[in-house]
Amino acid sequence: MQKSVLEKINRFTRRDFTEDELYIFSVVLCDNDVDRDYECFTDKSLEKLSELFMGKTGIFDHNPSASGQNARIFDTEIEEDLSRVTVYGGVYRCLKAKAYMVRTDENRDLISEIDAGIKKEVSISCRVGKRTCSICGCDREKTGCVHQKGKFYDGKLCYDMLSDITDAYEWSFVAVPAQVNAGVTKKFSDCRTTGFTSDRDAGAERELRREIKRLAYFTGGKTASDAVEISSRGMNFGELVNLRKSYEKLIRKSSGVRAELMPVEDKPEDSDGSAFSMK
Ligand SMILES: [Zn+2]
């Protein structure tokens, strides 16, 4: 562990801790891509969130009241992935956080779980001040417009851009069995939820499979995402990477044809526009 890492952590602690006393891991909190609720954070929002989540505590869902089950973010950074494009054709960026836990008898099992690569989803909640329609640029709350998120207009997907972030409340961990499919429930369908990066190999493949399902969804709705899940079952990591690339190409070249392929979705749940929970 670098000295600077310890220094950063000890800014948040009542006494200085040594390396042996701490457990450190990384999580991806959110990104700038359109999620299954047809919403996305702007790049500026990511930057704001990276400030606001600094020092924030995360909770593990399976035992939130137990002591020693909290982790705290001590560093954040925005990571760019030039090999990946967002649904709207932008450079993919995500907000990555480093968090620490003080090792205790109570959290020993939890830490082993994380080390063993048991998948954890991260969900965040924050306050969103403004939602902008991607088609006409209007402020959803102030003026409103005829465009509905998730629908296509002249071949362009309508989604809400989330900005003016004023508060970040919490982040939490939700244990997820490895077999859970993306898109089964709202909670797991969120593309912003990502696992611990210490869970690299198995985690990366699951993430990739989920990403492919999501991209397929944007090209052909639920039918396409279900179909690709079945057809890609036997694929290895390299084949999956290629499959993702071809979907990304397809989306980049997307035309009005896509609109006809999109399923008629149930109206997405709308929040009241104040507290915004990314579950
Ligand atoms: Zn509009």
Q: What pLDDT, in 10s, does the model give residues 161-184?
A: 999 999 888 787 765 543 333 222
**CB contact at 8 A, 161 and 42:** yes
Beta bridge partners of 30: 95
Two tokens, residue 235: 């694929």
Q: How confident is the model at residue 120, as a pLDDT?
A: 62
208 CA from centroid of ligand 1 (Å): 32
**CB contact at 8 A, 223 and 264:** no
Q: How confident is the model at residue 111, as a pLDDT?
A: 84
85 CA from centroid of ligand 1 (Å): 23
Q: Which residues of the chain have pLDDT under 70?
A: 61-69, 117-121, 174-203, 254-279
Neighbours of 85 (CB within 10 A): 17
| DSSP E strand boundaries for 44-176 | 57-60, 70-85, 91-102, 120-133, 152-153, 156-157, 160-175
161 CA from centroid of ligand 1 (Å): 11
β-bridge pairing 39-41 and 160-175? parallel
**CB contact at 8 A, 203 and 166:** no
Q: How confident is the model at residue 260, as a pLDDT?
A: 35
Q: How confident is the model at residue 115, as a pLDDT?
A: 77
Two tokens, residue 50: 């990276």
Q: How far apart are the first and last CA of the chain?
A: 33
Neighbours of 86 (CB within 10 A): 18
155 CA from centroid of ligand 1 (Å): 14
143 CA from centroid of ligand 1 (Å): 9
214 CA from centroid of ligand 1 (Å): 24
| Residue 141 DSSP symbol | T
